[in-house]
Structure formats: C-alpha cells, structure tokens
Amino acid sequence: MVAAAAGVVVGAVGTLSGCDKKPEKTRIAMVVKNLGNGFFDAAHAGADEAAKQLGNVEVIYTGPTTPSAEGQIEIINSLISQKVDAIVISANDPNALVPIAKKAMQRGIKVISFDSGLAPEGRQMQLNPSNAELIGEKQIQMAASSMGSGGGEVAILSASAQATNQNIWIGVMKQVLQKPEYAKVKLVATVYGDDQSDKSYREAIGLLRSHPNLKAIIAPTTVGIVAASKAVVDEHLVGKVYVTGLGLPSEMAGHVKSGAVKEFAIWNPIDLGYAATFAADQFVTGKAAAKAGTPVSVGRLGQVTLDDKGEAALGPPFTYNAENVEKFAKMF
C-alpha cells in the first residue's frame, strides 16, 4: 500500500508500468467505507478468496482513512486512471458518488455496490447482505427482549450520517417501533459515531449521561457496538443499559461476557466480500447483465437475482449470544 494523496490510501498493485498494454489479469478494486474496520478486513478476505477461485483476478483493496464520500471520490478517480476492470464499493453516500461512478462506467469499468449502496444510476448492481426489513426488525426485537417486558428508552448509535445502509435500517427500525407490541419502547435519540472508535465512544457516553433512564443502545454498526459496550462498562451501567445491534463475534465476545450485551446479530462479512467480488467478475466477463430478473452467479453461494432496482440480497442475519459467540469469534 502507498499513500496516494493526503488521507487517502490506494493499493499499489496492478498499475500500468510505463506502457499502455492492458494487464492480462482482471483487476477488481474493492473500495470500502474506510480502512482499519474489521468488518471490511473480513470482506477483503472474501474478495481474495473469490479472486483465488476465479484464477485470473487481482484484488486491489482500498478506502479512505475516515468514511467520507470525498475520500472515495478521490480514490475512484485514481482507479479510473489505473483502468481497473471493476469497482466494488461500500458507499459512504448514496448520491454524492454517483457522478464519479458514472464516469467510471462510461470508461467501461463495471461498478457494483455492496453493503452500503449507491443510487441505481451509479452502479450496475447493489448486493445487500440481507433483506433490510429483516435487519431493521431484528435489531428492535433484540433491544426489546434485552430490556424486558417493561420496555423503556432506547437510543441509536449509528455510523456516519450519510451511510446508505445504516440510514435504510434506521428507517425500518422507526417503522417497526410503531407496531403495538413495541408500544413501551421509546426511541429518544439517534447519534452518529462515524465508524470511528473514539467518536463512537464519546457519543455513547453522551447518550448515557444525557438520558439517565436509557435502557438500551442499538448500534447498527460493528464499530459503534464495540464502543457503546465499552462505554456501558466504563460508566458501570452493566445490567441497567443493554447494548445490541450489528457486531463481529470476534470483537464482541468480551462484551457478551461482561454482560453489556445479551445478543447481537450479523451476516457473514467474508461471504459478502466474496459474493460481491465474484459478481463483479461476472459483469466484467459479460456473464451477467444489469437487468431486472436476471440471475447473477455468486460462486459457492449459488446465485442471486436482481430486482427492479438492480438490487439482490444474500441470506438472513444470524444471532449471537453467550452460547455461540466464542465459536464464531474464530471466524470473523
């Protein structure tokens, strides 16, 4: 890896060396929200697995240091001049990246968004980890069952304010809270930790101090859920405030043990990175097309079908608790 511009790191592999000859390998760039996030490290491992299986694919793993659309725009510009074959991106903003993504597509680069999507006009396909309704509802269910039958105040600690995926899930959560069975669950605040550990921790402490009756924090981000759990432990609120949301078993096992978390959920991030990379190669080789109803192969995971918005989804999220978290902590 080399620093290509202030605050932006671009993988150095696969640059054209002095001549205009196109490299024989298919180069797929995975652009993540930001580097240093264990969730995306796992997705990267999945991308490498797909590349190995496909044989002729090289993965360029890259992303800004902090999750911003500006950082990703700069990176995509550089990938366009490197003439990569495909960009697989988890977008920091659904709309701000559309013009640069369009430019990439005009130059023949296939653009697939995964995890956090781009608006339809900015990509050939969006691969969701799971169905958004399921993900949103699951988190409300977990918070309600952690709080018990009396319900109480709940707050959301999200990633960055423009993140496509978190904003969709928060929208679903707000709708689910209208259901009569959640009448006693009251959402009192939504704050943003920008998928940065320190900011997420500060926001969590802020929630705990400004809402003394808070009974649960839902963090629909693997970075936020760790920070919120630590804040609950540090404020001596274990047993009074429960944290739940989306986390990596490897990062959460200790917090299930501490009692800050009873249960949390996630899908397999290795599979998600694998499937997105495999699908990108299908577009590069002309085996897949951006058309509703079209099946796209995702290798060992079978195939997905594009809906009328060009989206497809993998399986349902899985729930982790004291009984199974250690086992999965070894995987991701």
Judged by CB under 6 A, the stretch of 118-126, 137-145, 218-226, 296-304 that binds ligand RAM is 218-226
Among 9, 14, 37, 304, binds ligand RAM (CB under 6 A): 37
Would you give the distance in Å from CA 2 to the centre of its chain? 24
Report yes or no: 214 and 154 within 8 Å, Cβ to Cβ: yes
**Closest approach of Cβ 298 to ligand RAM, in Å?**
17
Round to whole Å and give the CA distance between 124 and 280.
9
Q: Which residue is nearest to ligand RAM (CB)?
A: 39
Would you give the distance in Å from CA 254 to the centre of its chain? 22
Q: Which residue type does 120 have?
A: P
Among 26, 62, 90, 268, binds ligand RAM (CB under 6 A): 90
Give yes or no for residue 115 binding ligand RAM (CB under 6 A).
yes
**For residue 242, what are its two tokens?**
């429960």
Give yes or no for residue 226 binding ligand RAM (CB under 6 A).
no
First to last CA, the chain: 23
Among 72, 128, 130, 165, binds ligand RAM (CB under 6 A): 165
Give yes or no for residue 222 binding ligand RAM (CB under 6 A).
yes
Round to whole Å and give the CA distance between 6 and 27.
24
Among 159, 207, 226, 312, binds ligand RAM (CB under 6 A): 159
Report yes or no: 218 and 143 within 8 Å, Cβ to Cβ: yes
Q: Kindly report the number of other CB atoms within 10 A of residue 329's CB atom.
A: 17
**Closest approach of Cβ 280 to ligand RAM, in Å?**
18
Judged by CB under 6 A, the stretch of 21-29, 33-41, 94-102, 295-303 that binds ligand RAM is 33-41
Among 69, 246, 304, 314, binds ligand RAM (CB under 6 A): 246
Sign of the Cα torsion 75, 78, 80, 82 reads negative
For ligand RAM, the binding residues (CB under 6 A) are: 33, 37, 39, 90, 115-116, 159, 165, 195, 221-223, 246
